[in-house]
A and B are shown apart, each in its own frame.
Chain A
Amino acid sequence: MAVTVHIPGPLQKLTNNQEAVEVEVADAASIEDVINGLENAHPGIKNRLVENGEIRGYINIFVNDEDIKFIKGMGTHVKEGDSVNIVPSIAGGA
């Protein structure tokens, strides 16, 4: 199945300047699987999102507008057609 991952501008140089990429994952895949799929297609991006097996503190990931922090984190499941948004929590200019 495929999910769409929306990439923030500063990381798009790792995805050939694509704002959104389709990632193929198995049924009942998790966000961790999606990130691994993303890394396979676009090497280097995982390190920008994950540190020591956890999502970096300033990175927020939303599945269909729901923050995975409030679901199951990296273990959050995705389904066919889901939209995954990567949004950095950039402080300043509050």
Chain B
Amino acid sequence: MVEAVYQPMQKGTFVSTAVLFDLDDTLIDLQYARRHGLRAVQEILPELKRVPLEELELVHDEELKANYLRTLGDSLSDEEARLEHMCGICRRYGLETSRAADAADAYVREQQSNPRLVPGVEELFEALRGRMKIGVVTNGRSRYQRDKLEFFDLLPLEAVAISEEVGAVKPDPEIFRYALAELGEQKATMIGDSWEHDVLGATGVGMDAIWLNRYRRPCPDPSLAVEIAGFEPVENILQALKTSSQ
């Protein structure tokens, strides 16, 4: 784990000249929004109040993962996916799945009422702009991901690689090569929260990687990536960017 050692950033001190970010749960704090949604589910399904929120999150994550690839394509809409996830939660805790629709409504209302960037992202972008090329490599539907970039005021970027547009899903090397070509760079440092998609995907094409590990999961292989717990203080990530390329 990189210590939060303060080292003033000066132009030209980076070894990397470009940085690529994952979008969901790296720049945009979807987990924060999901937690709000799941608390609302506990209100609608009071039997779940005895379930610790962390446990409910894990169960919900399993449901998300089970449908992940289907939601990237056209076979499952977000609304259908939400209902399936709530049905899965109901089944897990022995509740009638007929109650899942109300839970899904409550979930989405609270989830969408709590949009935010991961803490530190705005300051980090401010520090990086003009000093490094910045891009995004993200799995998802084009319209949804571009809407998010716009709403959260993350544009302009030097590269935007979205799986639906590129025709390759992380960790497929093709999507990283596409992003590098957009950047006009041979190499870049990839920052993301997914070990499989971001770290393994990026290092697989020879890029450096920084693993955003906000929830203190065990690191599968410290030799592959620099690990950070968050973007605050911003000097922490700037230090990591230098370290990642040494």
Name A's B-contacting residues (CB within 8 A). Answer: 8-10, 48, 56-60, 85, 87-94
Indicate the size class of the contact surface on chain B: 20 to 34
**Given contact pairs A90-B28, A91-B141, A10 touches B78 in the complex (Cβ within 8 A):** no
B152 at the interface (CB under 8 A from A): yes
Whether B115 pairs with A91 at a CB distance below 8 angstroms is no
CA distance A56 to B28 in the complex (A): 19
Give the residue name and chain of the A residue nearest to B33 (CB).
A93
**7-31 of chain B: CB within 8 A of chain A:** 24-25, 28, 30-31
Name B's A-contacting residues (CB within 8 A). Answer: 24-25, 28, 30-31, 33-34, 64, 67, 71, 78, 81-82, 85, 108, 111-117, 140-141, 143-144, 147-148, 150-153
Whether B152 pairs with A91 at a CB distance below 8 angstroms is no
* Cross-interface CB contact of B144 among A8, A85, A87, A92, cutoff 8 Å: A92
Chain B neighbourhood of A90, CB < 8 A: 28, 30, 33, 111-112, 115, 147-148, 151
CA distance A68 to B187 in the complex (A): 47
CA distance A91 to B108 in the complex (A): 10
**Given contact pairs A9-B116, A10-B117, A94 touches B81 in the complex (Cβ within 8 A):** yes
CA distance A47 to B30 in the complex (A): 24
Give the residue name and chain of the A residue nearest to B79 (CB).
A94
Give the residue name and chain of the A residue nearest to B24 (CB).
A92
* Cross-interface CB contact of B78 among A8, A56, A57, A91, cutoff 8 Å: A91
Whether B144 pairs with A93 at a CB distance below 8 angstroms is no
Whether A48 pairs with B85 at a CB distance below 8 angstroms is no
CA distance A8 to B111 in the complex (A): 12
CA distance A93 to B147 in the complex (A): 15
- Nearest first, the 8 A-B pairs at minimum CB distance are A93-B30, A91-B144, A58-B147, A94-B81, A94-B78, A92-B24, A9-B116, A93-B34
Whether A88 pairs with B140 at a CB distance below 8 angstroms is no
What's the nearest-Cβ distance from chain B to residue A55, in Å?
13
